[in-house]
Amino acid sequence: MIDLAAGTGKLTTGLLALGLEVTAVEPDAEMRSEFTRHHPDVPVLDGTAERIPLPDRSADAVLAGQAFHWFDPVPALTEIARVLRPGGFVAGLWNSNDRSVPWVAEFARISGFVQRGSTNARLADHPAFGPFERRTFRHAHRRTAESLVETLFTHSALLVAPEPERDEIRKRVREFLGTHPDTAAGEFDLPLETTVLRGERR
């Protein structure tokens, strides 16, 4: 199985827990170094979705966690099809906060940050693959106000915002999380949803 655009290895962690054999592909040298620190026994190769350094028909599955928006879709799917065995699968996974939960929707409004990857997740039609299936899985992460704020500020839109704007948003979200009954008592569950699109290699 290939973890494509593997980053620091968060998806690989889950795959290994299932007992799967993983090869990672990641273009960024610093990310590869961090990946190896977390998973020293997993091979991690320098490559991209459009240039996967593996032989033809060498993989049963290719997974990309929160990464397909970085790919050039048609060349990427052509390359993924090359490394997949017939009957193998490609799957894209997108995580987002579950805004069907009222306090999560309010948090998104106050912070001005809305994750759109899950809602808009799609893969281009490609002749090497059958129709893509979509499923959404709801789950939760245990959080504190501080850990949620720190995660919020790792997203690119806020990383590049002017410092006064960042300070104002940080103040607003801390006040909200510190006073809302669902989040003010220390640890709480952050409702999430993961959307998966999966296609079978013809």
Q: What is the pLDDT of residues 13-66, one digit of tens each?
A: 999 999 999 999 999 999 999 999 999 999 999 999 999 999 999 999 999 999
Residue 113 has pLDDT above 80, yes or no: no
Is the pLDDT at 144 greater than 80? The verdict is yes
pLDDT band at 160; cut points 50, 70, 90: confident
Average pLDDT value over all residues in the chain: 94
Kindly state whether residue 5 falls inside one of the protein's structural domains.
no
Domain total in the chain: 1
Calpha distance 101→48 (Å, rounded):
36
- Is 2 among the domain residues? no
Tokens 């410092």 belong to 163
CATH of the domain at 183: 3.40.50.150
Tell me how crowded residue 89 is: count the other CB atoms within 10 A of its CB.
Answer: 20
Q: Between the CA of residue 48 and those of 6, 8, 38, 180, what are the distances in Å?
A: 10, 15, 21, 43
Query: 88 lies in a domain?
Result: yes
Q: For residue 119, is pLDDT > 60? A: no
> Within a domain: residue 9?
no
Is the residue at 84 inside a domain? Answer: yes
Tabulate helix, strand, coil % of the chain (nearest 5).
35, 30, 35
Q: What is the DSSP pairing of strand 23-25 with strand 84-97?
A: unpaired
Q: Is residue 137 assigned to a domain?
A: yes
Q: What would the mean pLDDT of 89-112 be, rounded to a whole number?
A: 94
Domain with 192, as residue range(s), is 48-200
Phi and psi for 126 in degrees, rounded to 5? -150, 135
pLDDT of 116 > 80? The answer is no
